[in-house]
Amino acid sequence: MNKLTLIAINTFGLETVVKRELLALGFEDLKVFNGRVEFQAEADQIPIPNLWLRSADRVLLKMGEFEAKTFEDLFEQTKALPWEEWITREGEFTVTGKSVKSTLGSVRACQSIVKKAVVEKLKEKYQTEVFPETGPKYTIQVSLLQDTASLTIDTTGQGLNRRGYRKQAGEASLKETMAAALVLLSFYKKDRLLIDPMCGSGTILIEAALIARNIAPNLYTSFASEEWPQIHSEAWTQAREAARQAIDRQSELQLFGYDIDPDMVRASKANAKAAGVDKDIHFAQQDVKNLWIDQQYGIVISNPPYGMKIGDFQQINQIYIALNKMFRKKTGWSVYILTGDKKFPDYFKRGKPDRVRKLFNANIEVNYYQYFGERPAA
């Protein structure tokens, strides 16, 4: 069977993390762009990135890419694509769109041109004028960037960040995909001690537990492409069964989460339970000021409050003082802090961060400050 081109969509800044994940899943011929990674796969492999990708938002099937400066270009070239290979006679499809720096700036007009072109193609193929739209669902996206149109069909559906475990979120909860990326960017391994002293709804630690136990993050999610006849239903069954077999049920984890707000501690516990990792994480109410750490080695991953969302300067200052007191001299601890506060490295006196990665959290520019600690002897 011919290989298809799939596109893993991600938050800006996470491309290398998604690339690493895809390589680890065995995909090759990767092409990295801003906000997405393209890769080759067979139709029956579509379940794998959907079940397993931790840091990507969704997986799209690429139908084609071409220059489109006029509606006629868009119509003709869209119609020329093999839609009938994917959309069944009963298929129900919608078209979404976006346009950036392109001559065809009206997204609504582009969407309706694409819809018309696909309908025309299907009419010719199925020799019918009427489509019942009672079958599988397809979301087509037309995306124009600098006059290049990219046409895709979404294989995922509601989004890979909706893992389904977050019953309660905090005011400033991280997306699950972002939290997973923060853990993947640290050198966390399942035998290491990891704490999040301002854990909010527990997302970072829950993602760490899923990683440590090798639990496919979307094992219990359903996907838009599950109804598509081109992917054999056994491919879904087998991928899910293999994922179940891959779970590490033996390891003992050392994950600790604290928050000053008792509601957040309750939310974290409920979310961890829903994710099936409540026995792996110890959550407690604790002000970071009172946190006492006596282990020589460990990892901290956290995103403290920062001015633009919650918390005021006084509160943030107290947190920085506490982090300094705890970790300035603890060279066996790696410290990873995600914050929109660009002054953080001035206040955290451990020295210059070893690495700073620019990311976007809910469309706000943030930095991931990384201070590497010594590792325990093997």
Ligand X SMILES: C[S@@+](CC[C@H](N)C(=O)[O-])C[C@H]1O[C@@H](n2cnc3c(N)ncnc32)[C@H](O)[C@@H]1O
Interacting residue ranges for ligand X, rule: CB under 6 A: 170, 172-174, 179, 197-201, 203-204, 258-261, 264, 287-288, 303-305, 311, 315, 319
Where do we find the tokens 């019918």? 128
- Which CB sits closer to ligand X, 143 or 177? 177
For the bound state, the minimum distance from the C-beta of residue 271 to ligand X, rounded and expressed in Å, comes to 9
Q: Shortest Cβ distance from residue 341 to ligand X (Å)? A: 11
- Write down the least CB distance from residue 159 to ligand X, Å: 16
Neighbours of 31 (CB within 10 A): 12
DSSP string for 208-237: HHHHHTT--TTTT---GGGG-TTS-HHHHH
Nearer to ligand X, 200 or 353 (CB): 200
Q: DSSP H helical segments within the chain, as ranges?
A: 15-24, 47-52, 71-79, 107-126, 176-185, 203-212, 233-246, 262-275, 313-327, 344-347
If the CB atoms of residues 113 and 337 are measured against ligand X, the closer one turns out to be 337
What is the distance between the alpha carbons of residues 97 and 95, in angstroms, rounded to a whole number? 7
Minimal distance, residue 306 CB to ligand X, in Å: 7
Q: Which is nearer to ligand X, 97 or 305 (CB)?
A: 305
Q: Supply the minimum distance, in Å, between the C-beta of residue 363 and ligand X.
A: 15
Report the residue number, 46 or 184, with the smaller CB distance to ligand X.
184
Strands 58-67 and 148-154: antiparallel
CA 123 to chain CA mean position, Å: 37
Cα(first)–Cα(last) distance of the chain, in Å?
A: 46
Helices 176-185 and 15-24: crossing angle in degrees, nearest 10, is 80
- Please, are residues 236 and 166 in contact by the beta-carbon 8 Å criterion? no
CB of 274 to ligand X, least distance (A): 14
Between CA 120 and CA 128 the distance in angstroms is 10
Of 104 and 182, the one with the shorter C-beta distance to ligand X is 182
Angstrom distance (rounded) from CA 256 to CA 273: 15
DSSP 374: P
Closest-by-Cβ residue to ligand X is 200
Of 23 and 308, the one with the shorter C-beta distance to ligand X is: 308
**At its nearest, how many Å lie between ligand X and the CB of residue 94?**
31
Of 178 and 215, CB closest to ligand X: 178
Asked whether 362 and 338 are in contact (CB, 8 A), the reply is no
Sign of CA dihedral 221, 222, 226, 232: positive
User: What is the 8-class DSSP label of residue 317?
Assistant: H
Nearer to ligand X, 109 or 172 (CB): 172
Least gap, CB of 366 to ligand X (angstroms): 10
| Residue 109 Cβ vs ligand X, minimum distance, rounded to whole Å | 39
| Phi, psi angle pair for 90, to nearest 5° | -90, -5
